[in-house]
Amino acid sequence: MVSKFLRRKEAESYMQDEKGVKSSKTFAQENKDLNDQEYKARSPLLRSYPTYVAINLSDVCTVSCKFCRYNFYTSHKRLVTLEDIKSQEWLKYPQTIDLFCGVGESLVNPQFKDIFQYMMETFPYQYRGLTTNGTLMDDQIIRLFLKGASWIHVSVNAFKIETYRDLLRDLLMDKGML
Ligand code: SF4
């Protein structure tokens, strides 16, 4: 862990030493260039940061699909906070931030809008988006996405409402469990 941190610090000073202080946008591009170089050289130790980062803002989901391993009762009910995001100074390096990574519904996070707004303002050059089941989409979120999302995947599972209902074991939200 410590060596990883030091490698990242080293990469940071490498990028600064090359041409002096740069904007975050330049850091993201140079990080990508460094990452490409390291990939081509098959470097065993990376000085670059990831160029694509996926962050699950919530491990709670609003529904329970038959085919999914998600379980409301065993999920840890963890939420990423705006402060968590702000504390990760290195987040300026990736070119793409995916606000979803597998299981859970990021829009459950009560700070989702604040986090998204912060990312739009702080990292305007990044690509950002997410996959959502769409159950918590509202006008405010749609407006936010129109301003700052590079993609939104709405996972609807089925064309027919009967199939949709069959695939969703429980609408946990309707039962007052969220
Ligand atoms: S919406 Fe996605 S995360 Fe939620 S239960 Fe269905 S497949 Fe799993």
Q: Which domain holds residue 36?
A: 1-49
Query: Residues 74, 123: one domain?
Result: yes
CA of 64 to the centre of ligand 1 (A): 6
Q: Does pLDDT of 5 surpass 80?
A: no
Tally of structural domains, the chain: 2
Per-residue pLDDT reduced to its tens digit, 115-159: 999 999 999 999 999 999 998 999 999 999 999 999 999 998 888
25-37 mean pLDDT: 89
Q: What is the pLDDT of residue 173?
A: 55
- Within 10 angstroms of residue 18's Cβ, the number of other Cβ atoms is 10
Query: Residues 147, 110: one domain?
Result: yes
Lowest mean pLDDT among 33-42, 51-60, 85-94, 163-172: 163-172
Q: Are 123 and 88 in contact (CB under 8 A)?
A: no
Per-residue pLDDT reduced to its tens digit, 72-120: 888 888 899 999 999 999 999 999 999 998 899 999 999 999 999 999 9
DSSP codes of every residue in 1-16:
-HHHHHHHHHHHHHHH
Does the beta carbon of 63 sit less than 6 angstroms from any atom of ligand 1?
A: yes
Query: Residues 136, 101: one domain?
Result: yes
Does the beta carbon of 104 sit less than 6 angstroms from any atom of ligand 1?
A: yes
Query: Residues 42, 55: one domain?
Result: no
CA of 144 to the centre of ligand 1 (A): 23
Query: Residues 41, 56: one domain?
Result: no
The residue contributing the CA closest to ligand 1 atom 1 is: 133
Query: Residues 89, 159: one domain?
Result: yes
What totals of helices (H) and strands (E) does the chain contain, helices first? 6, 6
Measure Cα distances from 74 to 48, 133, 144 in Å: 36, 20, 31
**SS3 per-residue string spanning 22-33:** CCHHHHHHHHHH
Does the beta carbon of 103 sit less than 6 angstroms from any atom of ligand 1?
A: yes
Counting from 1 in the atom list of ligand 1, the atom nearest the Cα of 168 is: 6
CA of 126 to the centre of ligand 1 (A): 26
Query: Residues 159, 76: one domain?
Result: yes
CA of 56 to the centre of ligand 1 (A): 13
- This prediction's pTM: 0.81
Does the beta carbon of 172 sit less than 6 angstroms from any atom of ligand 1?
A: no
Q: Identify which of 97, 94, 93 has the alpha carbon closest to the alpha carbon of residue 16.
A: 93
CA of 68 to the centre of ligand 1 (A): 6
Helix 139-148 with 112-122: angle, nearest 10 deg: 20
For 54, phi and psi rounded to 5 degrees?
-110, 130
